[in-house]
Amino acid sequence: MSEEPAVSVGANSPLDVERVRKDFPILDRRLAGDRPLVYLDSANTSQKPTAVLDALADHYTRHNANVARAVHQLGEEATAAYEGARDKIAAFIGAPSRDEIIFTKNASEALNLVANTLASGLAENPRYRLGPGDEIVVTEMEHHSNIVPWQLAARRTGARFRWIGLTDEGRLDLSTLGELINPRTKIVSLVHQSNILGTVNDVETILARASEVGALVLLDGSQSVPHLPVDVTALGVDLMAFTGHKMVGPTGIGVLWGRREVLDGLPPFLGGGEMIETVAMEGSTFAPVPHKFEAGTPPIAQAVGLGAAVDYLCAVGMERIHDHEHAITAYALEKLHAIDGVKIIGPDTPELRGGTISFTVDGIHPHDVGQVLDEQGVAVRVGHHCARPVCVRYGIPATTRASFYLYTSTDEIDALAAGVQHVKRFFG
Amino acid sequence: MNDSLYQEIILDHYKHPHGRGLREPFDAEAHHVNPTCGDEITVRVALDGEKVVDVSYEGQGCSISQASASVLHELLTGSTITDAMAVEQSFVELMQGKGQIEPDEDVLGDGIAFAGVAKYPARVKCALLSWMAFKDATARAVGSPVVAAEEERR
């Protein structure tokens, strides 16, 4: 793991990127043709540092047992590690209580948990029941995982599904916010940082309006929690979903955080072991949070791995990571702007945006851009990035997306820019 | 450089497509979309008895999908439906062969240039898009030409 990061050269970054990169063994991989790997797909999934890989191996090698039901020593060790990860994650996002951290399999499940429990009609408090006349508000820049669950919930309950549109600059169009979020609005579910545009949204303004009308606010932090300091108490939202694998943790683990009062008000989601208080054939009662929402054997090793990921990120420092990505993003925007025919889809300056840059290259389909970049060892994502409505909004079939993280170097941005130039020559 | 994917023949068809554009008259058309990348194509088939008189198309997408449509037009226009279906089957087999099938140039013509695409699972669908649309459109034309075309346009 990195010790105190030294001041780096270039890109105004506070991180010693070369030292950080040594923590991620995969970054040394050579691809076919002995090309070095230039990994610019961290918004898709991040790479993992040795500390996380070791934590996973150590758990399976030394402590493996099921949690919360074994009286033996391994069971106690596994339970302590699993619950210890909950403590770390609560502290990491500024949650007032560890019991407000629910482990899920990913962010999609966390979002579905909220949509499904609100739609189930099982809550005692009508605030947590969707029905005809109620309204659900999302934004046009959501990932499909924050659109489809709500469309389904609307179909089940008769609630109305609405959305905040986008400006030409790739930001939320808040001009009609007062009408869109109104006393009929039961929940506003929005992305903190867009996975396709890179936009960091103005949560405060939306939250203020939602509070006026008493609507719940759910934040999709999948692309923000890994990249900038996020404190749920300071933000003031009601619920937040995020995922482990995008924040140097393993796949198979996500998190739903919610204010205690809200989580208590929502009915159970999945039924099964561990989520109950008592079960009788005539009916069952349920465990208090967080276990109420954790039916069955949870992703134990993955939670332990996510705890190690959080330790790693904290040791490097989230402020530093954010500043580094800001510098890298500014550098990348400048490089991409300088290429004829390249158009940025989303905010084209580094202000209020993260290190995820979507772009198009005139006359060349993103699939071809991505394929030829791959031939040069540059890994990007192409397509609609599970945010098809954004592509429709900007009249494009797809984009090429380069996304950065704490280990992204200016050399890699140079490789991207050179790669795009090569793409243009190849198809020119 | 990855020569096995972007063959010169493919780039040629991409930059200078043959028979592009939707034409009248036609007996049926089919619109196919690749949901993973948003590529789309509309293929129209005009028949005269057993003969494929014209295959016209319009679409947007990557070089592979667009070049493949151009090759399809070249290979199938003027052939019989039976021959066209045999070529179609041969092309599908090549694409699904994971790079293990030796293509027959007598059957596939410029289509043999796509042999390398079969090694890229993510791109196989791109190459097959227009062929699936052709098969669909032809089936409609042979079945109930008027109804199928009307339905598609709706």
CB atoms within 10 A of CB A274: 17
Proportion of chain B above pLDDT 90, given as a percent: 70
Mutate to test the interface with A, among B5, B14, B15, B62 (most CBs of A within 10 A): B62
The shortest C-alpha distance from B133 to chain A (Å) reads: 19
Per-residue model confidence as pLDDT tens digits over A61-97: 999 999 977 789 999 999 999 999 999 999 999 999 9
Per-residue model confidence as pLDDT tens digits over A334-388: 999 999 999 999 999 999 999 999 999 999 999 999 999 999 999 999 988 999 9
Sign, Cα dihedral of A138, A142, A143, A148: positive
Mutate to test the interface with B, among A34, A44, A364, A365 (most CBs of B within 10 A): A365
Same structural domain, A247 and A118? yes
Q: Which CATH number fits domain B8-146: 1.10.10.10, 1.10.10.60, 3.90.1010.10, 3.40.50.2300?
A: 3.90.1010.10
The shortest C-alpha distance from B141 to chain A (Å) reads: 29
Same structural domain, A306 and A387? no
Q: Which residue of B has its CA nearest to A392?
A: B38
Same structural domain, A238 and A137? yes
Same structural domain, A273 and A198? yes
Query: In Å, what is the CA distance from A382 to each residue of A212, A334, A399?
Result: 40, 21, 6
Query: In Å, what is the CA distance from A309 to each residue of A1, A47, A55, A304, A365?
Result: 11, 11, 9, 9, 36
Any idea what the CATH number is for the domain that residue A189 is in?
Answer: 3.40.640.10
Boundary-marking domain end, from A260, A284, A314 = A314
Same structural domain, A195 and A288? yes
Give the DSSP per-residue string, B72-112. HHHHHTTSBHHHHHHHHHHHHHHHTTTT-----HHHHGGGG
Residues of A within 8 A of B2 (CB-CB) are 371-372, 375
Residue B150 has pLDDT above 50, yes or no: no
Same structural domain, A332 and A403? yes
Q: Which letter, b or e, does each residue of B40-63 get, where b requires 16 or more Cβ atoms within 10 Å of its Cβ? A: bbbbbbbbeeeebebbbbbbebbb
- Is residue A391 classed as helix, strand or coil in its secondary structure? helix
The residues of A carrying an active-site annotation are: 386
Q: Decide which of B7 and A379 is more confident.
A: A379
> Is the residue at A198 inside a domain?
yes
- Check residue A10 and give its pLDDT: 54
**pTM of the predicted structure, to 2 decimals:** 0.91
Q: How many CB pairs under 8 A join A and B?
A: 48
B62 touches A: beta carbon within 8 Å: yes
Boundary-marking domain end, from A252, A282, A314 = A314
Boundary-marking domain end, from A314, A341, A361 = A314
**In terms of Cα–Cα distance, which of A241, A296, A268, A288 is closest to A120?**
A268
CB contact under 8 A, A367 and B61: yes
Same structural domain, A236 and A121? yes
The shortest C-alpha distance from A169 to chain B (Å) reads: 23
Residues of B within 8 A of A398 (CB-CB) are 37-38
CB contact under 8 A, B38 and A382: no
Place of tokens 């198309």: B57
CB contact under 8 A, B39 and A371: no
Phi-psi domain of A269 (left: phi exceeds 0; alpha: psi -120 through 50; beta: other): alpha
Same structural domain, A217 and A294? yes
Residues of A within 8 A of B15 (CB-CB) are 427
Q: Which letter, b or e, does each residue of A66-99 get, where b requires 16 or more Cβ atoms within 10 Å of its Cβ? A: bbbeeeeeebebbbebbbebbebbbebbebeeeb
- Check residue B153 and give its pLDDT: 46
Q: Which residue of A has its CA nearest to B10?
A: A427
- Three-state SS string over A95-154 comes to CCCHHHEEEECCHHHHHHHHHHHHHHCCCCCHHHCCCCCCEEEEECCCCHHHCHHHHHHH
CB contact under 8 A, A384 and B38: yes
> Is the residue at A323 inside a domain?
yes
Q: Are A14 and A323 in contact, with CB atoms under 8 Å apart?
A: yes
Mutate to test the interface with B, among A368, A424, A425 (most CBs of B within 10 A): A368
**Amino acid at site A74:** L
H or E stretch covering A327:
helix A318-337
B63 touches A: beta carbon within 8 Å: yes
Q: Categorize the per-residue pLDDT at B146 as very low, low, confident or very high, splitting at 50, 70 and 90.
A: very low
